[in-house]
Chain A
Amino acid sequence: MIQIEGLTKKFGPIAAVAGIDLKVAKGEVLGFLGPNGAGKSTTMKMVTGYLTPTTGRVRICGHDIESDLLAAQREIGYLPEGAPAYGDMTPRQFLKFIADVRGFRGEQAKLAVATAIAKTELDPVLEQPIDTLSKGFKRRVGLAQAILHDPPVLIMDEPTDGLDPNQKHSVRALIRAMAPQKAIIVSTHLLEEVEAICTRAVIIDRGRVVADGTPAQLLARSRHHNAVTLALPIAQADIARAKLKSLNSVGSVEQIKRQDGTAELTAFPKNGALLIEDVSALAVAEKWDVRELYAEAGRLDEVFRAITTHDAARARERSA
Chain B
Amino acid sequence: MNYIWPIFRREFAAYFATPLAYVFIVIFLFAMGAFTFYIGNFYENGVADLSVFFGYHPWLYLFLVPAIAMRLWAEERRSGTMELLLTLPVPLWATVLGKYLAAWAFTGVALALTFPIWLTVNFLGAPDNGVILAGYIGSFLMAGGYLAIGACISAATDNQVIAFVVSVVVCFLFTISGAPLVIEFFRAWAPLTLVTAISSFSFLTHFMAISSGVIDLRDVIFFFSLIALFLSANVVLIDLRR
* Complex CA distance for A238 and B202, rounded to whole angstroms: 92
> CB-CB < 8 A to A86: which residues of B?
10, 14, 79, 81
User: Are the C-beta atoms of B86 and A49 separated by less than 8 Å?
Assistant: yes
* Complex CA distance for A212 and B75, rounded to whole angstroms: 38
User: Are the C-beta atoms of B81 and A85 separated by less than 8 Å?
Assistant: yes
* Complex CA distance for A305 and B81, rounded to whole angstroms: 33
Q: A86-B14, A88-B14 are in contact. Are A50 and B7 (CB under 8 A)?
A: no
User: Are the C-beta atoms of B242 and A52 separated by less than 8 Å?
Assistant: yes
A73 at the binding interface (Cβ < 8 Å)? yes
B125 at the binding interface (Cβ < 8 Å)? no
B91 at the binding interface (Cβ < 8 Å)? yes
User: Are the C-beta atoms of B89 and A80 separated by less than 8 Å?
Assistant: no
> CB-CB < 8 A to A81: which residues of B?
80
A84 at the binding interface (Cβ < 8 Å)? yes
Chain B nearest CB: distance from A258 CB in Å?
46
Partner of A84, one of B17, B18, B83, B88: B83
CB-based nearest A residue for B20: A88
Count B-side interface residues using an 8 Å CB cutoff.
24
* Complex CA distance for A102 and B3, rounded to whole angstroms: 9
Q: A80-B80, A82-B80, A84-B81 are in contact. Are A97 and B6 (CB under 8 A)?
A: yes
CB-based nearest B residue for A71: B89
Bitwise, A154-191 to B at CB < 8 A (1) or not (0) is 00000000000000000000000000000000000000
User: Are the C-beta atoms of B91 and A70 separated by less than 8 Å?
Assistant: yes
B193 at the binding interface (Cβ < 8 Å)? no
Q: Tell me the chain A residues, 87-120 only, with Cβ under 8 Å from chain B.
A: 87-89, 93, 97-98, 100-103
Most buried by A among B3, B10, B18, B80: B10
Partner of A103, one of B2, B7, B17: B2
Q: Tell me the chain B residues, 150-192 only, with Cβ under 8 Å from chain A.
A: none
User: Are the C-beta atoms of A84 and B14 separated by less than 8 Å?
Assistant: no
* Complex CA distance for A102 and B89, rounded to whole angstroms: 7
> CB-CB < 8 A to A82: which residues of B?
80
> CB-CB < 8 A to B87: which residues of A?
48-50, 73, 76, 78, 80
Q: A97-B6, A101-B6 are in contact. Are A145 and B14 (CB under 8 A)?
A: no
Q: Tell me the chain B residues, 74-133 only, with Cβ under 8 Å from chain A.
A: 79-81, 83-84, 86-91
Chain A nearest CB: distance from B22 CB in Å?
14
CB-based nearest A residue for B79: A84
User: Are the C-beta atoms of A102 and B83 separated by less than 8 Å?
Assistant: no
Partner of A88, one of B7, B17, B83, B242: B17
User: Are the C-beta atoms of B17 and A89 separated by less than 8 Å?
Assistant: yes
User: Are the C-beta atoms of A145 and B17 separated by less than 8 Å?
Assistant: no
Bitwise, B50-92 to A at CB < 8 A (1) or not (0) is 0000000000000000000000000000011101101111110
User: Are the C-beta atoms of A50 and B89 separated by less than 8 Å?
Assistant: no
CB-based nearest A residue for B14: A88
> CB-CB < 8 A to B81: which residues of A?
84-86
Chain A nearest CB: distance from B98 CB in Å?
10
User: Are the C-beta atoms of A101 and B14 separated by less than 8 Å?
Assistant: no
CB-based nearest B residue for A89: B17
User: Are the C-beta atoms of B79 and A87 separated by less than 8 Å?
Assistant: yes
> CB-CB < 8 A to B79: which residues of A?
84, 86-87
> CB-CB < 8 A to A71: which residues of B?
89
A256 at the binding interface (Cβ < 8 Å)? no
* Complex CA distance for A260 and B222, rounded to whole angstroms: 85
A307 at the binding interface (Cβ < 8 Å)? no
User: Are the C-beta atoms of A85 and B84 separated by less than 8 Å?
Assistant: yes
Most buried by A among B6, B18, B87: B87
Most buried by A among B6, B13, B84: B84
* Complex CA distance for A77 and B90, rounded to whole angstroms: 14
Chain B nearest CB: distance from A107 CB in Å?
17
* Complex CA distance for A155 and B88, rounded to whole angstroms: 13
A23 at the binding interface (Cβ < 8 Å)? no
Chain A nearest CB: distance from B110 CB in Å?
19
* Complex CA distance for A51 and B241, rounded to whole angstroms: 8
> CB-CB < 8 A to A145: which residues of B?
84
* Complex CA distance for A84 and B88, rounded to whole angstroms: 13
User: Are the C-beta atoms of A74 and B80 separated by less than 8 Å?
Assistant: no
Chain A nearest CB: distance from B35 CB in Å?
32
* Complex CA distance for A50 and B86, rounded to whole angstroms: 6
> CB-CB < 8 A to A88: which residues of B?
14, 17-18
A-B contact pairs, 9 of them (CB 8 A): A48-B87, A50-B83, A52-B239, A70-B89, A84-B84, A86-B81, A100-B10, A101-B7, A145-B84
What residues make up the interface of B, taking CB atoms closer than 8 Å to A?
A: 2-3, 5-7, 9-10, 13-14, 17-18, 79-81, 83-84, 86-91, 239, 242
What residues make up the interface of A, taking CB atoms closer than 8 Å to B?
A: 45, 48-52, 70-71, 73-74, 76, 78, 80-82, 84-89, 93, 97-98, 100-103, 145
List of 9 A-B pairs having minimum Cβ-Cβ separation, nearest first: A84-B80, A100-B6, A73-B89, A88-B17, A80-B83, A74-B89, A48-B87, A101-B6, A84-B81
